[in-house]
Amino acid sequence: MRRSRPAVLGMALALALGGGLGGTALGPPAATASAAASHESVPASAAVQQVGDDAIVQHYQQLGGGASFLGAPVGTPYDIAGGRAQNYAGGTIYWSPATGAHETHGSIGGHYAELGGPAGFLGFPLTDETATPGIPGRYNNFAGGTIYWSPATGAHETHGSIGGHYAELGGPAGFLGFPLTDETATPGIPGRYNNFAGGTIYWSPATGAHETHGSIGGHYAELGGPAGFLGFPLTDETGTPDGVGRFNHFAGGSIYWSPATGAHEIHGSIGGHYAELGGPAGFLGFPLTDETGTPDGVGRFNHFAGGSIYWSPATGAQEVHGAIRAQWAALGWEHSRLGYPTSDEYGITGGRRSDFQHGSILWHEASSRIEVIHATIPAALLGVDLERIPTTQKVVALTFDAGANDAGLPSILSTLTANGVPGTFFLTGNWVNQFPSDPALIYNAGNRIGNHSMTHPDFTTLTDAQIAAEISGAQRAIEAAGGDPLPFFRFPFGARDSRTIADVNGAGYAAVRWTVDTLGWQGTMNGTRGPAFIVQRVMASAQPGEIVLMHLGSNPDDGSTLDAAALPQVISQLRAAGYGFVTLDAALG
| Active site members | 401, 551
Report how far residue 111's alpha carbon sits from residue 238's, in angstroms, rounded to the nearest whole number: 34
The pairing of strands 292-293 and 351-356 is unpaired
The answer to whether 415 and 567 have CB atoms below 8 angstroms apart is: yes
At 349, is the secondary structure helix, strand, or coil?
Answer: coil
Report how far residue 387's alpha carbon sits from residue 385's, in angstroms, rounded to the nearest whole number: 6
What's the Cα-to-Cα distance from 192 to each of 220, 222, 237, rounded to whole Å?
A: 16, 18, 18
Q: Which among 227, 231, 248 has a CA at the least distance from the CA of 239?
A: 248
The answer to whether 86 and 52 have CB atoms below 8 angstroms apart is: no
Q: How many CB atoms lie within 10 A of CB 276?
A: 12
Report how far residue 369's alpha carbon sits from residue 348's, in angstroms, rounded to the nearest whole number: 14
Residue type, 286: F
Report how far residue 9's alpha carbon sits from residue 196's, in angstroms, rounded to the nearest whole number: 42
Identify the H or E element spanning 50: helix 46-62
Report how far residue 338's alpha carbon sits from residue 346's, in angstroms, rounded to the nearest whole number: 17
Contacts of 358 (CB under 8 A, 6+ apart): 337, 338, 339, 374, 375, 376
Identify the H or E element spanning 33: helix 30-37
Residue type, 109: G
